[in-house]
Amino acid sequence: MRRSATLILAALGLGTGWLAPLAAQDAAPASGERINTIIVYGDDPCPASAGIEITVCARKAEAERFRIPAPLRETPSSKSEAWAQRVLAYETVGREGIQSCSPVGPGGVLGCTQKLINAAYAEKKAATDVNFAKMIEDERAKRAAVTDAEAAATQARVEQAEKDYEARQRAAADPGAVPAKP
């Protein structure tokens, strides 16, 4: 609901400065982390992540700030469709049999998979150029690397503390021994 309201307001050109944060508030995953996906324009700063919050920013040109989003700019209609494409569509009308995605004839259902694949590629091609899922995955990997480095440093300190403790225990058990240097 929120996303459709954002798109409608963007299409009407009503102040898009507050739309990006509004559209960026997706549902939080089960782990409790909050994810902000924000589109920033020109040299605008990207807000920093804080705590368990992940903030990723897609940067677009300043000229795109007040434009209607790319997927909404062009409306597909029969007038804008190439004549060759219309002819191809007419060639498949009434087609039946193998690879036709038709309930008529043997093997008609085999063409349905190809039709689904073609529709998926067309949808992917028409999608926006921002891949927030990849950006979120990269941010999580970066956070995991920092956590791994901190864990390794903590582990090294714990192991050194254990060695020091064992050395003190041996020194206390044998008062005549010379303490080993760390």
Q: What is the pLDDT of residues 89-114, one digit of tens each?
A: 776 666 677 777 777 767 767 777 88
DSSP state letter for 60? E
CA neighbor of 131 nearest in space, from 56, 68, 63: 56
Q: What pLDDT does 178 receive?
A: 59
Separation of alpha carbons 167 and 55, rounded Å:
47
Contact 17, 9 (CB under 8 A): no
Q: What pLDDT does 19 receive?
A: 43
Average pLDDT estimate for 178-182: 57
Average pLDDT estimate for 115-131: 80
pTM of the full predicted structure? Answer: 0.39
Average pLDDT estimate for 114-141: 82
Residue 84 has pLDDT above 70, yes or no: yes
Mean pLDDT of the chain: 75
